[in-house]
Amino acid sequence: FVSYNLKDQYETSPLHVDVNIVHNDLLDIEAFRNWNPEYKKAEFILEDGKYVCGWAIEKMSKSMFNVVNPDDIIEKYGADTLRLYEMFLGPLEQSKPWDTNGIDGVHRFLRRLWNLFFDGEKWRVSDEEPSKDELRALHKLIKKVTTDIEQFSFNTSVSAFMICVNELSQLRCNKKAILSDLLVCLAPFAPHIAEELWHRLGNEGTIFDTAFPKFREDYLQEETFSYSISFNGRTRFTLDFPADAGREAIEKAVLEHVKSERWLEGKTPKKIIIVPKKIVNIVI
């Protein structure tokens, strides 16, 4: 048997193999030998010590050996991971290959979510007021998920959850007000972990009796924007400016900045091009 990326060097014929003994496109060789007595003494041509399998998009069928028992996935990763992963694979109306490469990533996402509530074994949620950045991250999620649920775009919702949890992790967010609404948004997608954490927050009754949060546009307004500062079209550094900063104020601040002296070399700019909220390009 020849590993997938070496098959062009040999005369080969494709063989369907049980997908349950393939993980992240790598064949479990020992399991393959035990799968069928005919292959007990099979020999393999490997690449970097591994046997890589190809794949094809087909309906699940016993004859194709591509039936996946959801109980096995649930036992290893949990029901919420399976639910999220199936939604994450792509739009509901499209056929999608069953590929376990991403399921570990979905499982890690749920672990990161759990770590917003716990520091190891220690409960870390506080009653402090949320910061503006935390509210912005949450309300971007609420807006996205509200729209996606109406359009059955569950795969992009899962992506939005991952982005939000990453942002909250970077902010070291542990505010109950933020995490409560996050759980309510997540509950239709991952009900088991959402319900568990909901009760650990001290709530009584099921999370599914709670009204879905509404996003507030005022929380989505950016107070500052990061501008790329370019000289003759080449970015040299970045500067942050208030959202309401005027053109003259931006020009003055850039030209007087200590980092600009190196690139200006005492010359007077021929032109200054400002793309609002994005770029300042100084033509010398």
Same domain, 127 and 209: yes
In a domain, 94, yes or no: no
In a domain, 145, yes or no: yes
CATH number at residue 238: 3.10.20.590
Q: Which residues contact 126 (CB under 8 A, 6 or more apart)?
A: 174, 175, 176
Q: Which of the 8 DSSP states describes residue 81?
A: H
Helix (H) or strand (E) holding 194: helix 191-200
What pLDDT is attached to residue 98? 67
In a domain, 86, yes or no: no
Q: Which of 201, 219, 237 is the last residue of a domain?
A: 219
In a domain, 58, yes or no: yes
45 and 6 in contact (C-beta within 8 Å)?
A: yes
Q: Which domain holds residue 111?
A: 101-219
Same domain, 204 and 232: no
What pLDDT is attached to residue 63? 60
What pLDDT is attached to residue 65? 57
Same domain, 106 and 192: yes
What pLDDT is attached to residue 129? 95
Q: What value does the CA radius of gyration of the chain take, rounded to a whole number of Å?
A: 26
In a domain, 93, yes or no: no
The count of other CB atoms within 10 Å of the CB of residue 45 is 13
Same domain, 231 and 184: no
Task: From first to last of the 284 residues of the chain, give the pLDDT tens digit.
Answer: 888 888 888 888 888 788 777 877 888 888 888 888 888 888 898 998 999 988 766 665 666 555 677 888 899 899 999 999 989 988 877 776 666 667 888 999 999 999 999 999 999 999 999 999 999 999 999 999 999 999 999 999 999 999 999 999 999 999 999 999 999 999 999 999 999 999 999 999 999 999 999 999 888 877 778 899 999 999 999 998 888 788 889 998 999 898 998 888 888 899 999 998 899 999 98
Same domain, 206 and 152: yes
User: Against a cut of 0.75, is the pTM above it?
Assistant: no
Helices (H), the chain: 29-35, 70-77, 79-88, 103-117, 132-151, 154-170, 176-186, 191-200, 247-256, 258-264
Same domain, 210 and 266: no
Q: Which of 219, 234, 260 is the last residue of a domain?
A: 219
CATH number at residue 143: 1.10.730.10
Same domain, 253 and 148: no
In a domain, 11, yes or no: yes
Same domain, 136 and 236: no
What pLDDT is attached to residue 66? 58
In a domain, 183, yes or no: yes
The number of folded domains in the chain is: 3
Residue 261, exposed/middle/buried by CB under 10 A (0-12, 13-18, 19+)?
exposed
In a domain, 78, yes or no: no
CA distances from 268 to 253, 256, 281, 283 (A): 15, 12, 14, 9
CA distance 249 to 67: 64
Residue 213, exposed/middle/buried by CB under 10 A (0-12, 13-18, 19+)?
middle
Same domain, 107 and 26: no
54 and 4 in contact (C-beta within 8 Å)?
A: yes
What pLDDT is attached to residue 39? 85
Same domain, 209 and 240: no
CA distance 84 to 273: 45
CA distance 188 to 34: 40
What pLDDT is attached to residue 57? 64
- Tokens for 79? 């029901």
- Tokens for 123? 């409960």
Same domain, 139 and 189: yes
- Tokens for 168? 């909250």
Same domain, 137 and 236: no
Nearest residue to 35 via CA among 52, 46, 22, 48 = 22
End-to-end CA distance of the chain: 63
Counting Cα atoms < 13 Å in the Cβ hemisphere of 240 gives: 4
Q: Which of 195, 219, 243 is the last residue of a domain?
A: 219
